[in-house]
Amino acid sequence: MTLSSSEKETLLGLVGELGEVRFSEPMSAHTTLRVGGPVDAWIAPNTIDVAAAVRRFCTQTHIPCRAVGAGSNLLVLDEGVSGVLLSTQRLRGLHFLDEIDNKTPVCVEAGVSTGKLLAEAMRRGLGGVEFLGGVPGSIGGGLMMNAGTFVGEFRDVVSEVLTLNESGETVFRTHAACGFVYRGSAIPKTDIVVKARLLLSARPRADMETAVAALRMRRKEREPHGVGCAGSFFKNPPGDFAGRLIEACGLKGVRHGGAEISPVHANWFVNVGDAKAADFLSLIERAKTDVKARFGIGLDLEVKILGENEISSSQMPNIQD
């Protein structure tokens, strides 16, 4: 769709000086894969209240509105995106509260980077988020997909989550109501995560530093660097690893246009040149087809696909990565 002049003026007025609005913004500038066509409006509010106001207006005027975070787990199609993409990157509140029953509550907004949260927790000797040493991106996306590593996940530390529903209303959800599962949650697909409360425990800083250093070294040794990437493209199937299956099909190093199945790790698809989203879609289909033919296993995407012609409606929501 194309926003009317009056819709653009209203959006500019709602945000004012409390954020940024860009029209026809190329999403290649906002994804770690460095691909993606333009979105009608890219809006980065500084406050949750402004984000809520934009969400309400979009719902009232039937403008599609979805959230994006750091773009670290996102493939935006070449055709671009209709409507509004609400970036949570400027929601950066981070507050460590007084200890209660040997637990320290931490209030963290969606745009805080995983690295920032980890660094501040370590500085205070608070354990529980060491797994973030192997997780890029921002807190909002991490919560929505229950991001983690083999040493932990967000569900291990979340107490409650605050979201915005389609009407722009704030909704509190307890840990149980979030329904965290492997790389997913029961948070409604139409909601936008804006804030969370975590519970951390005291831990010797030396132990934390050792654990984080080991994760970062493992990441350095096993994953590609210096290229546009979006982390793991596929979820690990039960009892196996997507990277092992793709590698066993002889697909490491296979290229299509400027996209490549990394020779370092077969579950990382990377931009080695001027890749297009279509190049990645071709590699995705190749990997799924070959793994299914050889092992009878269907691979499910971990990366989220967004654009005018999403592969399926299931890829449209929960794109806050």
Catalytic residue positions, numbered = 183, 232, 302
| Residue 109 bridge partners (DSSP) | 195
Cα 204 from Cα 181, distance rounded (Å): 29
Amino acid identity, residue 119? A
- In 3D space, the residue among 169, 104, 177, 119 whose CA is nearest the CA of residue 143 turns out to be 177
Pair of tokens at residue 58: 């979009």
Decide: helix, strand or coil at residue 293. helix
Cα 7 from Cα 91, distance rounded (Å): 24
Question: Would you say 261 and 287 are in contact if contact means Cβ atoms under 8 Å apart?
Answer: yes
* Cβ neighbour number for residue 309 with a 10 Å cutoff: 9
Decide: helix, strand or coil at residue 278. helix
CA 58 to chain centre: 22
Question: Would you say 245 and 234 are in contact if contact means Cβ atoms under 8 Å apart?
Answer: no
CA 47 to chain centre: 19
Cα 104 from Cα 101, distance rounded (Å): 8
Question: Would you say 63 and 83 are in contact if contact means Cβ atoms under 8 Å apart?
Answer: yes
